Structure 1
Amino acid sequence: MAHFTHISVQTQDFDFAHEYQKLRDSNSSDGALVTFVGLVRDLNLQQAVSGLFLEHYPAMTEKVLNNIVEKARTKWQLGSVSIIHRVGQLQVSEQIVFVGVTSQHRQSAYHGNEFIMDYLKTQAPFWKKETTNQGDKWIAAKASDMEKSKGW
C-alpha cells in the first residue's frame, strides 16, 4: 500500500486500533508512527464540563485540513497522514480527534503530528460550545495554543 492522506469530519466515533493499523500497513519503509487522540475533558478553565458541541463549516473544513497536512509535508518528510475530527454533541471522555502520522524517522513523525494538532486547534474552522453547570458557552482558541502555533 502506498502513502496516503485521509481526512474525515464525522459525527460517529472512530476505532483507534483500526486507524492505527491502516497507518501501520501504509508503507513498510516508514519506521515511525505517531498518534494523538483528543478527548472531551470534564473540566475546563476551572469549570465542570458535562458535554461539548462542535460545529464546522463543511465547504471549508476539509480544504483547510488538507492545507494543514500539505504545510506539514513541506516541513518534514511525512509518509501517511490521517486526521479524523468529530462534530456534533459529545459527552465527557468521548474521542474528539485522531491525528496519525508516519515517517521514516521518529523526529519527523513527532514534529509533524504536533504541528498538525497545533494548527487544528487554531486554524481549522471548528466552533466549540461547552455545556457547564452555569449554562452553555462558546469557547475560543486559547492564547497559549495561538502562541504555540506561531512558533512553527
Structure 2
Amino acid sequence: MFYQQNHANAVTPAMAKKALGKLLHRRDRNPLFHHLIGYIWKREFLQQRGYHFHLLLAFDGEHVQESAKLALEIGNYWSVVATEGTGAFLDCKRYKDDFRSGGIGTLKGGNPKERQKFHKTLIYLTKTDYYISLVDGEHGRNLGKGQLSRSKKDPKR
C-alpha cells in the first residue's frame, strides 16, 4: 500500500501512520475484516515512492474463499478512505509473477512449499530497514501486528 506518485513526497510519517490507523481501526466493525484473525504491517520508505506499507492479513479460511476479491476491496478502502483518495495498492498475489515468492494464498499445514513461501514472506517483512531511520525523524514503530482478541475466537480452536 502506497501513495500515488503525485502525492508521495508530501506524505509525512504522521500522515502515513494515520492512514494505516484508519485502515485497521475498528476492524471488528468493518465487514471487510469480519473473518480476520491476525495481521502484520511494515512501514518502509523509498526515495522514489515515499512512505509505504507492506500488509499481511490472515483470514479464517473456513469463511474466506474469495481472497482476490477481498484483497481488491481492502486495497480500494486504503486508496479511497484511509488515504482520502491519495493512495494506491498492489496485491502481490494478483501479480505473483512479478514477485519472488508470488503471494501466499491459502496455507495448509502439511504443504512444505506453502510453508516455505510464508516463511520467506515473514523474513522479508521483518528485515531491518536502516534507510527509514535516516529519513524518519520520529523514530516510531515501523513494524506492528494484531490479532483477534481471545473472547472473539472460536472456543473450539
Q: Specify which structure has the higher proportion of helix.
A: 2
Q: Specify which structure has the higher proportion of strand.
A: 1
Q: Which has the higher contact order (CA 8 A, sep 6+)?
A: 1
Q: Scaled by the length of structure 1, what TM-score is found?
A: 0.35
Q: Scaled by the length of structure 2, what TM-score is found?
A: 0.34
